[in-house]
Amino acid sequence: MFKKLTRLLFGKTDKVDAEPARPAAPARSANTRDSQRRGNQQEDKPSHRKTRQKPARRNHASDPREDLRQLKLDIDVSKVTVVPREQHNISRKDISPSALKVLYRLNDAGFQSFLVGGGVRDLLLGGHPKDFDISTNATPEEVRDLFRNSRVIGRRFKIVHVRYGREIIEVTTFRAHHEIETEVDEGESRKHIKHLDSAHSSSGMILRDNVYGNIAEDAVRRDFTVNALYYTTNHFMILDFVNGLPDIDQRLIRMIGDPETRYREDPVRILRAIRLAAKLDFGIEKNTEKPITNLVGLLESISSARLFDETVKLFTNGQAERTFALLRQYKVADYLFRPTMACLQDDSDPESKLLTLALRNTDNRLAQGKSVTPAFLYAALLWPPLQAAIREEIGNKIPTLGTLQECAGDVIVEQLKYTAIPKRFTAMMREIWELQLRLSPRNRRSVEIAFTHPRFRAAYDFLLLREEAGEQLNGLGDWWTRFQQVDADTQNTMIDALVPGKAPRKRRRKPRKPESAD
């Protein structure tokens, strides 16, 4: 400023060192300036939007164990088989979006989480699992705090159900092997173990199992090798701790650990081995198979309610007919359906054939995407003892409704000693059986009562199975089939023909309204 003033007043010019010229800035387009301005604004203004960082793209030359070490699982990496993404067929598009939500939220919260069990197994086999289970190092209480749509269930082993609409994602915490802390004698009260983390019965059955560990310990605590495979969305790897992948290739069901000890810990594993073998068309490994017939009596210690749930799973896996054959082969059916097995002496009897056809019909309905009800299955399973009870009561005569109801009650009460059956299903079973008598058309009233009954369709299907099994019903199934296919006038004609010598009923015409004088 002083130099400028000097120049103006005196006209003198001082020599000053010239400032080196700066290189001219390159010309920027409007788009470049706008993007730069937006970038500056974003740097100044903090972003509150959460963004999940995508896993780094895999370098095919890298060792997958290095990726595993990054997960910090606190395990011996050398003792696990790691299958990288490019060597397996599991894709996230085949996994339930709800299961992926649970996996991502657990990972984002700092926990370890893996898809595990039947979901991984079925995906590897090219199937489409209905259920997805997740295993994590988060405790049940931590999972519940993370998901508002969840609840902790179970006493023997706590698990968390995360509900998305009608879909339930089951989340379990890594379990660990532990020594027996408390042993409960048979018949002893179990109230004192209510809040314990570990307890066994004197026979070896697990009563409480809430001791937590890491993923490697959890793998050996699972039942079968094909159910102990873990899939992670971090680098999309599969982890195998117990050689489950070779057993899938060989199509074998193999118990983890000593089979006899594991069956004693939970006798329901006998039913699971049979169910998996039937569902997957796998064989049962010889050491896993050997103790089954000797230990099947342990099923008597399982609650009847739990056995009902397991039997429903057995017959709704799409292979009900093969499952029942395996249950008979290993003598397991005697501890689930003893009244029925006592009546199945000859496979050529109509009652035995009806049961086989009902199981086959169940498989066909499931293959077509149709629903099945346990009531229909149990109606077929208990049909042989029901017929035996009726014959013992009145011989080969046609039973009255009262006789059938009395025998049905006795048969159901006997079955309840082995498996529980909810009342809504026993009521439906009774209706299906009673309609077998009502479906014998005698007059208009009997036809209308049967045809408008809410269980008519189930009873009609049961009637067709009876005919197909060889029962002589004088074409009753054909009559009802035709009755449903014809129009109302033909139905009236069919009903009128039931009473011999009665002329067909004339259709009444509505009287005409008299014309007015106008």
- Please tell me the predicted confidence (pLDDT) of residue 193: 46
Please state the rounded mean pLDDT for residues 401-415.
96
515 pLDDT exceeds 70? no
Query: In this predicted model, what pLDDT tens digit does every residue of 428-439 receive, in sequence order?
Result: 999 999 999 999
Task: Please give the model's pTM, rounded to 2 decimal places.
Answer: 0.78
From the candidates 122, 133, 209, 218, give the one annotated as an active-site residue. Answer: 133
Residue range 126-170, pLDDT digits in tens: 988 988 999 999 999 999 999 999 999 887 788 999 999 999 999
Looking at every residue in the chain, the average pLDDT score rounds to 83
Is 34 a residue of the active site? no
For residue 219, the model assigns a pLDDT of 94
Query: What is the layout of strands, in order, in the sheet containing 229-231?
Result: 81-83, 238-240, 229-231, 113-116, 133-136, 167-173, 159-164, 150-153
Q: Which of the following is catalytic: 131, 334, 410, 461?
A: 131
Q: Is 209 noted as a catalytic residue in this protein?
A: no
Backbone angles phi, psi at 53, to 5 degrees: -70, 130
Structure-model confidence comparison of residues 252 and 206, the more confident one: 252
Q: Which of 67, 122, 218, 223 is catalytic?
A: 223
Pairwise CA distance, residues 282 & 298, whole Å: 24
Give me the percent of the chain exceeding a pLDDT of 70: 78
Residue 360's CB: how many other CB atoms inside 10 A? 13
pLDDT over 70 at 317, yes or no: yes
Percent of the chain whose predicted confidence (pLDDT) is above 90: 65
Per the annotation, the verdict on 349 as an active-site residue is: no
pLDDT of 286 over the 90 cut? yes
| SS3 of the chain: helix, strand, coil, percent, to 5 | 50, 10, 40
Tell me: the pLDDT tens digits for 237-249?
A: 999 999 999 999 9
Considering 12-16, 17-21, 180-184, 396-400, the range whose residues carry the highest mean pLDDT is 396-400
Question: For the chain, how many helices (H) and strands (E)?
Answer: 24, 13
Residue 37 has pLDDT above 70, yes or no: no
Q: Where are the beta strands (DSSP E) in 10-143?
A: 81-83, 113-116, 133-136
Tokens of 126: 């090219």
Residues 38 and 41: their CA atoms lie apart, in Å, by: 5
In this model, does residue 319 exceed pLDDT 60? Answer: yes
Contact present, 244 and 227 (Cβ < 8 Å):
yes
Yes or no: say if 137 and 116 are a contact pair by the CB < 8 Å rule.
no
